[in-house]
């Protein structure tokens, strides 16, 4: 039975080529949450109401606001609890959360590579964005240069590791193709948070931009089909009976290796740099390394959340998670390490009342329409 919600319809502020707008829009479509997609290029409006210059953001008819896709989706899960995207099994629920976080915060770099490095995609997307943001498509070259400088060459990518950043896409395609050759969604019969985390990059970047989309169609047709399947999925149609599958099989091993020996150590190094007041840090992982990458306080909070959820597991569930990663490494060492706090819990307690511009001063940043970050 379709649920009613006094807050509907919602205004989803985003754009249809945005990494995280695609993630949130797919979730709202899946849960059949009434919403309208409105102009997310107007970051000034989002900043006016939230104090945060990022998309997507959700506005309720009561004038409340939600931002950041992970806490926004978690809030909607309480409002629309039927057919949850989090498995009941606590160990699998943690795996789903970890995969969502990995998809959100690890895959943006190759997504930016494939959007702003190949000439065809670079021009096509630069033109489209500049037309939507400023009505000036001829300035595509300026925005393309800005994006590659800010999020690639200026954030850990060098001539030595550029090919490795490019090839991160192929690593994920290999994993996803093996999964979807056997089952409908990443963890079973229904979409989980893991699916929506991966969907962000795969739908609006890799599956949309000319160069990576052509590669996906040729090399990973099951993954390409999954994009359409998830975009069209409806929780009510799939039914309330969910069949979840705990990860197993050799095709999972490379991904687990990247999480245990690259992604989690990257989060740890970022948190330590934040603690030490370092604005940049060098990272050397098992499979990937980045020089002078930016310290991001949001990812300090990501590690905090993962540590909290891991520590909340009972001994049996914790042992099951540890056992999953045992062939590639010990994730417990990082997840049990002393927490470094970013102090962001209150910031992401949703929903928020509108600030109505009360935070804006003469020194507030300008350039709202071009200042978006490829963060959550």
Q: Tokens representing 72?
A: 């926004």
**What is the pTM for the complete model shown?**
0.94
Average pLDDT over residues 82-94: 98
Residues 176 and 306 occupy one common structural domain: yes
Q: What is the mean pLDDT of the chain?
A: 93
* Per-residue model confidence (pLDDT) at position 8: 63
Question: Does residue 284 lie in a domain region?
Answer: yes
The torsion angles phi and psi of 141, rounded to 5 degrees, stand at -65, -35
* Per-residue model confidence (pLDDT) at position 376: 43
Q: CATH code at 39?
A: 3.40.30.10
Residues 111 and 15 occupy one common structural domain: no
Instruction: List the one residue out of 317, 313, 309, 319 whose CA is nearest residue 339.
Output: 309
Residues 74 and 96 occupy one common structural domain: no
Question: Does residue 375 lie in a domain region?
Answer: no
pLDDT exceeds 80 at position 361: no
pLDDT exceeds 80 at position 175: yes
Question: Does residue 123 lie in a domain region?
Answer: yes
* Per-residue model confidence (pLDDT) at position 369: 39
Query: Which range marks the domain in which residue 294 is found?
Result: 90-335
Q: Tokens representing 329?
A: 């490494």
- Residue-wise pLDDT for 19-44, tens only, equals 999 999 999 999 999 999 998 788 88
Please tell me whether the peptide bond between 9 and the residue prior to it is cis, using omega within 30 degrees of 0: yes
- When mean pLDDT is compared over 45-59, 189-203, 353-367, the highest value belongs to 189-203
Residues 254 and 352 occupy one common structural domain: no
* Per-residue model confidence (pLDDT) at position 195: 98
Please tell me whether the peptide bond between 371 and the residue prior to it is cis, using omega within 30 degrees of 0: no
* Per-residue model confidence (pLDDT) at position 374: 43
Instruction: List the one residue out of 265, 252, 269, 236 whose CA is nearest residue 326.
Output: 252
At 107, is the pLDDT very low, low, confident or very high (cuts 50, 70, 90)? Answer: very high
- Residue-wise pLDDT for 204-253, tens only, equals 999 999 999 999 999 999 999 999 999 999 999 999 999 999 999 999 99
Instruction: List the one residue out of 360, 303, 374, 314 whose CA is nearest residue 45.
Output: 360
Question: Does residue 4 lie in a domain region?
Answer: no
The torsion angles phi and psi of 243, rounded to 5 degrees, stand at -115, 105
Contact 348, 301 (CB under 8 A): yes
* Per-residue model confidence (pLDDT) at position 6: 60
Question: Does residue 287 lie in a domain region?
Answer: yes
Residues 311 and 365 occupy one common structural domain: no
At 358, is the pLDDT very low, low, confident or very high (cuts 50, 70, 90)? Answer: confident
* Per-residue model confidence (pLDDT) at position 41: 86
Of residues 365 and 329, more confidently modeled: 329
Residues 234 and 360 occupy one common structural domain: no
Contacts of 273 (CB under 8 A, 6+ apart): 279, 280, 281, 295
Residues 230 and 120 occupy one common structural domain: yes
pLDDT exceeds 50 at position 4: no
Burial class (CB within 10 angstroms; exposed 0-12, middle 13-18, buried 19+) of 8: middle
DSSP state of 230: H
Of residues 41 and 275, more confidently modeled: 275
Residues 76 and 152 occupy one common structural domain: no
Average pLDDT over residues 349-374: 68
Lowest mean pLDDT among 127-131, 288-292, 310-314, 369-373: 369-373
* Per-residue model confidence (pLDDT) at position 375: 46
Residues 191 and 63 occupy one common structural domain: no
* Per-residue model confidence (pLDDT) at position 40: 76
Average pLDDT over residues 286-307: 97
Residues 62 and 197 occupy one common structural domain: no
Question: Does residue 150 lie in a domain region?
Answer: yes
* Per-residue model confidence (pLDDT) at position 5: 52
How many domains in the chain? 2
Question: Does residue 28 lie in a domain region?
Answer: yes
Residues 66 and 134 occupy one common structural domain: no
pLDDT exceeds 70 at position 346: yes
Residues 50 and 94 occupy one common structural domain: no
Average pLDDT over residues 335-342: 96
Question: Does residue 340 lie in a domain region?
Answer: no
């Amino acid at each position: 039975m379709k649920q009613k919600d006094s807050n509907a319809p919602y205004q989803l502020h985003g754009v249809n080529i945005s990494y995280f707008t695609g993630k949130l829009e797919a979730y709202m479509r899946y849960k059949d949450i009434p919403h309208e997609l409105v102009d997310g290029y107007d970051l000034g409006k989002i900043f006016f109401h939230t104090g945060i210059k990022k998309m997507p953001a959700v506005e309720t008819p009561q004038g409340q606001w939600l931002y950041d896709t992970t806490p926004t989706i978690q809030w909607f899960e309480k409002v629309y609890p039927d057919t949850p995207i989090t498995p009941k099994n606590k160990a699998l629920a943690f795996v789903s959360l970890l995969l969502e976080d990995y998809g959100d915060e690890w895959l943006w770099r190759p997504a930016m590579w494939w959007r702003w490095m190949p000439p065809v995609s670079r021009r096509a997307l630069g033109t489209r964005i500049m037309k939507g943001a400023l009505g000036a498509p001829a300035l595509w070259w300026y925005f393309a240069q800005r994006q590659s400088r800010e999020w690639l060459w200026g954030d850990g990518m060098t001539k030595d590791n550029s090919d490795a950043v490019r090839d991160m896409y192929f690593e994920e395609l290999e994993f996803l193709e093996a999964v979807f050759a056997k089952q409908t969604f990443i963890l079973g019969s229904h979409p989980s948070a893991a699916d929506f985390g991966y969907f962000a990059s795969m739908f609006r970047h890799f599956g949309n931009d000319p160069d990576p989309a052509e590669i996906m169609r040729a090399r990973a047709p099951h993954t390409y089909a999954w994009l359409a399947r998830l975009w069209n999925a409806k929780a009510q149609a799939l039914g309330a009976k969910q069949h979840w599958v705990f990860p197993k099989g050799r095709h999972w091993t490379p991904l687990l290796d990247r999480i245990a020996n690259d992604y989690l150590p990257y989060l740890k190094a970022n948190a330590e740099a934040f603690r030490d007041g370092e604005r940049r840090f060098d990272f050397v992982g098992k499979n990937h390394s980045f020089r002078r990458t930016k310290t991001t306080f949001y990812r300090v909070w990501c590690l905090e959340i993962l540590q909290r959820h891991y520590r909340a597991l009972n001994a049996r569930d914790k042992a099951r998670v540890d056992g999953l990663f045992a062939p590639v490494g010990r994730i417990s060492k990082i997840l049990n390490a002393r927490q470094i706090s970013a102090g962001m819990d209150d910031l992401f307690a949703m929903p928020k009342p509108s600030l109505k511009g009360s935070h804006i001063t003469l020194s507030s940043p300008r350039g709202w329409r071009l200042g978006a970050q490829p963060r959550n």
